[in-house]
């Protein structure tokens, strides 16, 4: 069955970075880019990351006051707050301003793999193979833990997370619901959708028995979830989050079909995809055919 969707490339983000590793779209005129500095075309990251803010006026680097804090990635909060984080011990998440001023430091736990900030300033944290078996946690804005997926009052999570080994990515919709890209054993879930009250809103999308590739990145564009595979050459997943049925769509850019994508982020219809092989941050739009 052919796809009813298409990804339309609109251009790419200009800047002094030759290999953007990840990006977060604040709005249609403001994008934050994590740049690794590695000139190779591989997907591997090396060395210290650097952070750039790209607006209509151009790109400007955000200087960290603590040069010893080696962050892996960022998340955007309200009113210009940036959350830079890594998966190591101790204080592994910093809330900073666009001027690079540290406003608060958090200890979110080792194995931290992904952070997302909701409209109340609360911190959603996902983990890769955590020792405590808690893959998803929710912290208050001040850093106090308020919920995790092993909550005894939430038995419905036992099935959803029974085969999960890590959370690769997460993205929030405008209604406050959360989409998750999950790593798992065997035929476990690869994607899930949680409502504002943290209740599962739809059956988790299961890994296909034919195609065992995992989902690597996820974002939400105008209420539609988009997820990319962890390997090149395979189509993206398109999911409304209202059932376990998914569609697929191919990305064709610069003569390549479905190159590996290290990060995707969206604001409304605007989608940014980091393509290490092309050393570009590509601007896309998802459209329905016909």
Q: Where are the domains of the chain?
A: 5-288
Of 191, 186, 236, the closest CA to residue 212 belongs to 186
CA angle 243, 147, 82 (to 5 degrees): 85
Of 220, 216, 284, the closest CA to residue 251 belongs to 284
Answer whether residue 159 shows pLDDT above 80.
no
Cα(147)–Cα(154) distance, integer angstroms: 10
* CATH number corresponding to 5-288: 2.120.10.30
Answer whether residue 5 shows pLDDT above 90.
yes
Least confident span in 2-16, 78-92, 108-122, 185-199: 185-199
Cα(58)–Cα(64) distance, integer angstroms: 19
Answer whether residue 43 shows pLDDT above 60.
no
Answer whether residue 211 shows pLDDT above 70.
no
Q: What b/e string do you get for 171-191 counting C-beta neighbours within 10 Å, with b at 16 or more?
A: bbbeeebbbbbbbbeeebbbb
* E strand or H helix that includes residue 156: helix 156-160
Pairing of strands 205-206, 215-221: unpaired
Residue 149: what pLDDT? 87
Query: Residue 158 — φ and ψ, nearest 5°?
Result: -60, -45
pTM of the model: 0.92
Cα(106)–Cα(86) distance, integer angstroms: 11
Of 200, 103, 186, the closest CA to residue 142 belongs to 103
Beta bridge partners of 248: 237
């Amino acid at each position: 069955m052919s796809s009813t969707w298409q990804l339309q490339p609109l251009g790419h983000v200009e800047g002094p970075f030759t290999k953007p590793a990840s990006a977060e779209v604040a709005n249609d005129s403001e994008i934050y880019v994590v740049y690794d500095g590695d000139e190779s075309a591989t997907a591997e990251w090396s060395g210290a990351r650097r952070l750039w803010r790209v607006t209509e006026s151009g790109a400007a680097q955000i200087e960290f006051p603590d040069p010893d804090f080696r962050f892996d990635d960022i998340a955007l909060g309200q009113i210009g707050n940036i959350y830079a984080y890594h998966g190591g011990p101790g204080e592994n998440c910093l809330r900073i301003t666009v001027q690079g001023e540290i406003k608060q430091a958090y200890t979110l736990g080792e194995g931290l793999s992904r952070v997302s900030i909701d409209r109340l300033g609360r911190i959603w944290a996902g983990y890769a193979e955590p020792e405590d078996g808690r893959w998803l946690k929710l912290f208050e804005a001040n850093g106090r833990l308020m919920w995790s997926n092993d909550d005894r009052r939430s038995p419905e999570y036992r099935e959803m997370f029974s085969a999960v080994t890590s959370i690769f990515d997460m993205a929030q919709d405008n209604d406050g619901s959360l989409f998750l890209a999950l790593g798992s054993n065997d035929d476990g879930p690869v994607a899930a959708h949680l409502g504002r009250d943290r209740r599962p809103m739809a059956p988790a999308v299961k890994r296909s028995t034919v195609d065992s590739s995992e989902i690597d990145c996820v974002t939400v564009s105008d209420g539609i979830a988009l997820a990319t595979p962890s390997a090149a050459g395979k189509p993206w997943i398109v999911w409304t989050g209202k059932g376990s049925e998914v569609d697929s769509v191919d990305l064709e850019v610069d003569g390549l079909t479905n190159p590996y994508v290290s990060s995707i982020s969206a604001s409304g219809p605007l989608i940014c995809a980091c393509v290490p092989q092309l050393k570009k941050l590509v601007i896309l739009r998802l459209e329905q055919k016909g």
